[in-house]
Amino acid sequence: MNVKITDYPYRYKAFNLNVFSQLPVAGLAEHECEKPDIIIREGVIPEAITNPLNKGVLFQAGAEEFLLKVDGLAKFYVQKGETITVEITNKDSGDDISAFILGTVFGALLHQRRLLPLHGSAVLYQEKGIVFSGNSGAGKSTIAAAFLEKGAQLLADDISLIGFNNNEAQVIPAFPGMKIWEDSLKVLGKKPDKYNPIRKNLKKYLYPVETFHTKEAAISHIFIIGTHNLETFEIAGLQGIEKFNALKNNTYFFRGMNKTGILEKHFQLCNMLAPKVKITRIVRPNGGFMVEKLAEIILEKLAEN
Amino acid sequence: MSNKKNIVWLASYPKSGNTWFRIFLTNLLEDGDEPADINALYPTTIASSRSLFDEAAGVPSSDLTQDEVERLRPQVYRYMSEITSETIYHKIHDAWITLSDETPLIPGDITKAVLYFVRNPLDIAVSFAHHSATSIDKAIDMMNDPAFAFCSRENKLHNQTRQRLLTWSLHVTSWTDRSGLPLHIIRYEDMLTDTFNTFKKAIVFIGLNYPDEKILKALEFSSFEKIKSQEQEKGFREKAAKSVSFFRKGIAGDWQRTLTPEQVNRIVSNHGNMMERFGYLPT
């Protein structure tokens, strides 16, 4: 990508991609580099995509373009997996912009690059790449943070990008931060007032991680975490088509890809990953997050191999 | 967006017969040879589901404030309505409220019908206390609190988005008097005492046409004894985490053996007018 370097004062690395940005992005690791893989710039964005193939309440998507409109804050336009244009509609938005860039916007961009982003947090623990996946509220970040306390290194939070190298499936390091809610910080023995909220009016904080692993790590296990209103833990190892379905269902922003022509490649990637990884579904009690008990179960499953 | 009227809302204050009806509806629509699994009910996703919101919005609700989520919820329902030609059923415990710009949370232009379940608040107090694993006095406090809402604490990610219930009386009047939606009221007590006719009228109102024998079979498969024994055997996913069981007694009038005169007074003094309307005032 040919750009004028001086136009982009902020340089980062995320998901092993060099990012040149005209805006600061809270949470990303600064990284000096000469050529960008991705640029983030400010600009005027059209109200709508011409002939969108897929639409949701806040987004429109085509195969190579994606538009996200957050009323009263900003619009985001992602093209060809390379360019993110941000039109700020509220001058007081501050770091709020970063929260959306690191979430839906990056998710759409990774899909445009025909990659495999899973909805989950990932750590490197005893040389094993482990992804904790599941719906919002399942406790992905909290269990990942608990593993950091046990000596693991962070690979990713919320979006775990999977890559392939010489037939090995790997987790690609994302950026050295996590988004953690106030009550989870307390469960982890941390004081919320030491951290910056990811958005002004949200009690969800950017939790910087010093033990960030900056290289790809071979993926060993994926734990799909769910919750139910029973007091018991349910644990099930997945096999065959169940694994494919689990990967598909736990893809980050899967709905955003519908009808955009991206799905076929995505299913190929899920098929490539499924035989290379152990997938275990764990359903935990909803009442009170027994993070240590969950960690114990995961450690037992890891020790089985 | 097209405006198809294809959403049926199964609306109620908690503990008013909504889940019983959903189990009956599952048995009716699935028409199996044995009772439907209470842990695999026909999709009647609660309207406050976080997954429902996240899928439709394209931005995770966990990156939005509760007020932002609330403002977007009508658009989420319009989106869900638009992407299917089928009838969608949503359970809902929110009161029928309007947002800061006076638009209703529940859009009329996509609403096919509302079934509103109402129950004697004296019995709700007892049942709600068990459900919430709290004291009856605290349950009454919640029912009397105009600001009462589920999932409203802002320091954590709840599994559902915030639901404003208001007081019991305000909940009832919001749906039955203010919403202006095509609405059929079902008294829990009638579900118990005039079961067949009550359930039949409800399904006819929402446009379902089933012969009597199918309705009778679905009622048999969703009898209190059958669903209670299923819960005892396998548990019930929708039970509140701290409560002992979801399906407890399934009767009317339990309050007479449970509530103190003071507790009865606290409910009647707050909700007397609405109770009178539905024949719930103690004699």
* Tens digits of residue pLDDT in B44-61: 889 999 989 998 999 999
Place of tokens 């954590």: B156
**How near does any CA of chain A get to the CA of B251, in Å?**
24
Per-domain residue ranges of chain A: 5-112, 116-303
Contact call for residues A177 and A185 (beta carbons, < 8 A):
no
Three-class SS of residue A122?
strand
The pLDDT of residue B243 is above 80: no
Interface of B with A (CB under 8 A): 50-51, 54-65, 72, 75-76, 79, 154-159, 235-242
CB within 8 Å: A229 and B241 = yes
User: Architecture of domain A116-303 in CATH?
Assistant: 3-Layer(aba) Sandwich (3.40)
Contact call for residues A101 and A25 (beta carbons, < 8 A):
yes
- Alpha-carbon distance B64 to B76, whole Å? 14
Residue A202 has a pLDDT of 95
The list of chain A residues with pLDDT below 70 reads 288-289, 305
The H or E element containing residue A161 is strand A159-165
Residue A137 has a pLDDT of 81
Contact call for residues A151 and A125 (beta carbons, < 8 A):
yes
**How near does any CA of chain B get to the CA of A269, in Å?**
22
Tens digits of per-residue pLDDT, B201-215? 999 999 999 999 999
Residue A35 has a pLDDT of 92
Contact call for residues A98 and A27 (beta carbons, < 8 A):
yes
CB within 8 Å: B57 and A56 = yes
**How near does any CA of chain B get to the CA of A100, in Å?**
8
What is the pLDDT confidence band of residue B229, given thresholds at 50, 70 and 90?
A: confident
Tens digits of per-residue pLDDT, B141-191? 999 999 999 999 999 988 899 999 999 999 999 999 999 999 999 999 999
Which residues lie closer than 8 Å to A109 by C-beta, 6 or more apart? A38, A66, A78, A81, A84
Which residues of A are less than 8 Å from B58 in CB distance?
A: 56-59, 68, 104, 253, 255-256
What is the pLDDT confidence band of residue B2, given thresholds at 50, 70 and 90?
A: low
Residue B212 has a pLDDT of 97
Contact call for residues B210 and B201 (beta carbons, < 8 A):
no
Give the pLDDT mean for B28-44: 89
CB within 8 Å: B237 and A230 = yes
| A270 C-beta neighbours (distance < 10 Å), count | 21
- Alpha-carbon distance B173 to B90, whole Å? 20
Q: What is the ipTM of this complex?
A: 0.92
Give the pLDDT mean for B83-89: 93
Which residues of B are less than 8 Å from A230 in CB distance?
A: 235, 237, 239
Place of tokens 């988005």: B161
Tens digits of per-residue pLDDT, A78-130? 999 999 999 999 988 888 999 999 999 999 999 999 999 999 999 999 999 99
What is the pLDDT confidence band of residue B268, given thresholds at 50, 70 and 90?
A: very high
Residue B43 has a pLDDT of 83
**All domains of chain B, ordered by start, with CATH?**
7-277 (3.40.50.300)
- Alpha-carbon distance B108 to A210, whole Å? 51
CB within 8 Å: B79 and A201 = no
